[in-house]
Amino acid sequence: MLFFFPENPFSKKGGNIIRAYSNLRIFKKLNIDVDLVGCEGFYKDSGEGFGLDYNYIKNFHLVGRKPTKNLLSLIYWKYKIIKLFSKENKSNFFLTANFKDCFNKILAENSYDYIVISYEFWTDLIRNVNLKGATKIVDTHDWITLNEYYKNPKLDIGKKFNEEIQNLNFYDKVVTISRDEFQVFSNFLGDKVVNIPQGFPSHYEGNPKTFSEKKFDLIFVGSNNPFNVQAVKWFFEMVYPLLPKNLNLCFIGKICEYFKEEPNVHLIPFAENLDDYYYDSKIAICPMLEGTGIKIKVVEALSYGLPVVGTVKAVDGFNSKIQNGCMISNDASEFAENIVKLLSTESLYQSIVQEGITFFDNHFTEKEVENDWKNILN
């Protein structure tokens, strides 16, 4: 398999990256040899070491949007000339002629049974290329048109969505992480669309701490993407003032760059392992207002047996919007009230916990997701 994911799937710094890493784990279990291809710009911009795990990949290729500057190189001058006479790809800044040339060279020198592309806006990487009979699969991750609309309400939605559907239609299989997006895409593309949600190992039986022993009342895990920034800003402006002042909050991830630590607000910019933090927390929060796809932070919290208090967006992509371990409201007062009720009412707390565990076991175990992938990799 050639597996293209622009960022480093071993960096564990965001939900989309956890998704890619989880897929690599599953391909390993299915005895598939994987060549990983990444985007040089993403790896360098992260400022992190590559930290590749060759237990899950056979070969690694890093592709750049432009060649190394060398005035004696024909490749360099070819890129410069093409750049003068071609328009920049407005949907994907990185998708230059050089990027495609380098990617095509990988395809030319190898033969693959499967080619998995992450995100439909990279489709031109394999369009009009000899794929030698490989099965083409796209892991959509998100509904890109809606994501772009959130960022730019003046977006020409019809034009963008038509582009997205045309790209998806190029593939043999279209994988969605969200049940909602499965419904949208399958209306246009039929049976080639398959829903494979995010899977996690179950951690809820290993919790060594009782409710009263836990240090944190609330936990939020998130990267610094704009949707997380908006969510945390709304939480601190609208919900936090309504909560009891003695609650202890834990925030983990690059989202910590956007606010200051206070006596009861603990910031953890990076955690190699989240077990101790989840086991030491009573409730996970997900105050997302925008964004698409499943909120992986919610599924992860459910895998630890935590109830989730969130907005309506917290249950995006779920098969059921009720009895799923989440208490949801877009109203700040009700959001705060849900937190207080869970922390103060043991019977309600245990009821929501059990709903979440049952929902997780029915939809999000690694075994379920492994079987889903097995069904399309045959």
Q: What pLDDT score does 229 carry? A: 94
Angle, vertex CA 15, rays to CA 14 and CA 19, nearest 5: 120
Q: What pLDDT score does 333 carry? A: 98
pLDDT band at 47; cut points 50, 70, 90: very low
Question: What are the two backbone dihedrals, phi and then psi, of residue 343, each rounded to the nearest 5 degrees?
Answer: -75, -25
DSSP-derived secondary structure letter, 235: I
Summarize pLDDT for 292-305 with one digit per residue, the tens. 889 999 999 999 99
Summarize pLDDT for 83-142 with one digit per residue, the tens. 555 555 566 778 888 899 899 999 999 999 999 999 999 999 999 999 999 999 999 999
Q: Which helix (H) or strand (E) holds 286?
A: strand 281-286
* Average pLDDT of span 197-213: 89
- Judge whether residue 48 has pLDDT over 90: no
Give the pairing of strands 216-221 and 281-286. parallel
Q: What pLDDT score does 262 carry? A: 82
Residues present in the chain in total: 378
Instruction: Extract the tokens encoding 62.
Output: 């890093």
| Angle at which helices 97-109 and 74-85 cross, to 10° | 130
Q: What is the Cα–Cα distance from 337 to 81, expressed in whole angstroms?
A: 62
CB atoms within 10 A of CB 201: 11
Domains, the chain, with CATH or none: 2-200+366-376 (3.40.50.2000), 204-363 (3.40.50.2000)
Q: Which residue do the tokens 């933090």 mark?
A: 277
Using an 8 Å Cβ cutoff, are 193 and 174 in contact? yes
Instruction: Give me the half-sphere count of Cα atoms (radius 13 Å) on the Cβ side of residue 26.
Output: 26
* Average pLDDT of span 71-94: 60
Name the pTM for this structure. Answer: 0.88
- What is the arrangement of strands in the sheet containing 249-252, beginning at the earlier edge strand? 265-268, 249-252, 216-221, 281-286, 308-310, 326-328
Percent share of the chain, pLDDT over 90 = 78
Instruction: Extract the tokens encoding 55.
Output: 């237990």
Instruction: Extract the tokens encoding 368.
Output: 């379920």
Question: What are the two backbone dihedrals, phi and then psi, of residue 153, each rounded to the nearest 5 degrees?
Answer: -60, -15
User: Strands, E, within the chain: which ranges?
Assistant: 2-4, 35-39, 59-63, 114-118, 135-139, 173-176, 193-195, 216-221, 249-252, 265-268, 281-286, 308-310, 326-328
Instruction: Extract the tokens encoding 297.
Output: 């932070």
Q: What is the Cα–Cα distance from 233 to 288, expressed in whole angstroms?
A: 10
Q: What is the Cα–Cα distance from 52 to 261, expressed in whole angstroms?
A: 32
Instruction: Extract the tokens encoding 133.
Output: 């009979």
Q: In a 3-state reduction of DSSP, which class is residue 29? A: helix
Q: What pLDDT score does 129 carry? A: 94
Q: Which residue do the tokens 């240090």 mark?
A: 215
